[in-house]
Structure 1
Amino acid sequence: MSSSIVFIVYVNDAPEAARFYADLLEIKPGFQTPGYIAFDLGEGVDLALWSGQLDGLTPAVPRTSEVCLALPGGPEAIDGQFARWVEKGVRVVSEPRDEVFGRTFVVADPDGNLIRVAPVD
């Protein structure tokens, strides 16, 4: 079995999406081509943005999966991250609320892909 995993997010414009994710996550891509850009998230884990695979990808299409950023620090850290991202102008899908696993919220990238923030398990 592979010792690495890549989470692929389909986007319309990989370079534009990469600018959004780089700003949001405050990291730089580790690998770039015109249609595929990957971010190293830690040992054996990458987030890749891939364009050209789906025609007509729009934010209005319902999404059934999400990328989740797990933060340490409890509810205050979650609420603080929400405030910082709102200042950046992200589209909020659901505001911070308490769920069975802790405080969480969801935003969307420009293509409508969901990004959840939740506490570290």
Structure 2
Amino acid sequence: MISNTYFLLYVDSTSVSTAFYSRLLDKPPAHSTEAFALFILDSGIKLGLWSRPNVEPEAQAAGGGSELGWAVDSRATVDELHRHWQQLGMTIAQPPTETGFGYTLLGLDPDGHRLRVLYLTAA
């Protein structure tokens, strides 16, 4: 039975990405080596960062082809995170925007992985 959920991102520099996600998540990794770091999110979901040159078999995917998303409880939280991400120097690909599915913000990590925050609005 599958009981743990995790997402794995391939990164160019584990140390750069670990520092980025430590600041973003406001927590250190639960496990970290030169080639791999693992964060355990408050929800229990795990986020792994694996150094692209160490991935076996070799991965062809690069950042930007999918999104890692967080649902939040209010529009104000989206706006707060926008300010926080700007303070961290994060690249903002889409500032807070009203869309057909909700109020959202999109940032990029150092490898171009898309990080979305969403306040889902009723249809």
TM-score of the superposed pair, with normalisation by structure 2: 0.83
Note the 1:1-121 alignment, pairs <5 A: 1-42=1-42, 44-51=44-51, 52=53, 53=55, 63-72=64-73, 74-119=74-119
Aligned residue pair count: 117
Gaps (5+ residues) in structure 1?
A: none
Q: Specify the SS of the correspondent of 2:77.
A: helix
Give the match's secondary structure for 2:85.
Answer: helix
Q: Secondary structure at 2:28's aligned position in 1? A: coil
Q: Percent same amino acid among aligned pairs?
A: 29
TM-score under structure 1 length normalisation: 0.85
Q: Could you tell me how far apart the structure 1 residues matched to 2:117 and 2:14 are?
A: 22
Partner of 2:41: helix, strand, or coil?
Answer: strand
Summarize deviations over 1:24-78 as a string: whole Å, max 9, x none.
1111100112111000114541000001236898xxx672211112222x11110
Letter aligned with residue 103 of structure 2: R
The 3-state SS of whatever aligns with 2:20 is helix
Distance 1:109 1:84 in 2: 14
Whether the 8 Å CA contact 1:3–1:44 is kept in 2: the answer is no
> C-alpha displacement at 1:101, in angstroms?
3.0
Does the CA-based 8 Å contact 2:102-2:120 persist in structure 1? no
Which structure shows the higher strand fraction? 1
* Alpha carbons 1:36, 1:50 under 8 Å: kept: yes
How large is the RMSD of aligned CA atoms in angstroms?
A: 2.3
Unaligned runs of 5+ in 2: none
- CA deviations on 1:65-97 (whole Å, 9 max, x unpaired) are 11112222x111101110111121110111111
